[in-house]
Structure 1
Amino acid sequence: MTEANDLAEAAAGADPRIGLRAAVALRRLADALEVLQVDNARRQGWSWQEIADALDVTRQAVHKKHAGRAVPRQEG
């Protein structure tokens, strides 16, 4: 079982202390994954609108959240 599956199982459990801690961990994991993939999309030339459409948010929302961060160049 993966860490994400373990966290999801814990978040659905009956113990609120464990469930809430798991919910925080899942949120952090999802945020890190979003940053990774937005950076990936920007390196590949995606527009803010294309990223927003994929995330099901507005262009303004995704730009506000991610535009201030420098996108590392892909090595190779």
Structure 2
Amino acid sequence: MEVDEVLTIARATGDDDPRVALAAARELRRAADRTEAAVVRRARVGGMPWAEIAEQLGVTRQAVHKKYGRR
């Protein structure tokens, strides 16, 4: 997703129609989740330990491993 697209969606969260604003918030959350997953994969490929990734994300090591670890 391009930066301009994210900005457009972010602006839509202020729409007077709550349906439009809620849909935009949902899409921002999905985009953030996809971005976080990609960054975590890059960090792991680069050798960063789960504990450090967790610290940077503000969660526990167990939480980040559960969410992104191999199953």
- What TM-score, normalized by structure 2, do the two folds share? 0.90
Q: Deviations over 1:5-63 (max 9, x none)?
A: 11110012221010011011101100000010000000000000110011111111101
* Structure showing greater relative contact order (alpha-carbon pairs closer than 8 Å, 6 or more residues apart): 1
User: 4+ runs of 1 displaced by more than 3 Å?
Assistant: none
Answer yes or no: is 1:9 the counterpart of 2:32: no
User: Which residue is 1:74 aligned to?
Assistant: none
Give the root-mean-square deviation of aligned CA atoms.
1.3
Identity over aligned pairs, percent? 49
Q: How many residues align?
A: 69
CA distance in 2, matches of 1:30, 1:42: 18
The structure with the greater share of residues assigned to helix is: 2
Structure 2: unaligned runs, 5 residues or longer:
none
Unpaired segments of 5 or more residues in structure 1?
A: 70-76
Of 18, 35, 38, the residue aligned with 1:36 is: 38
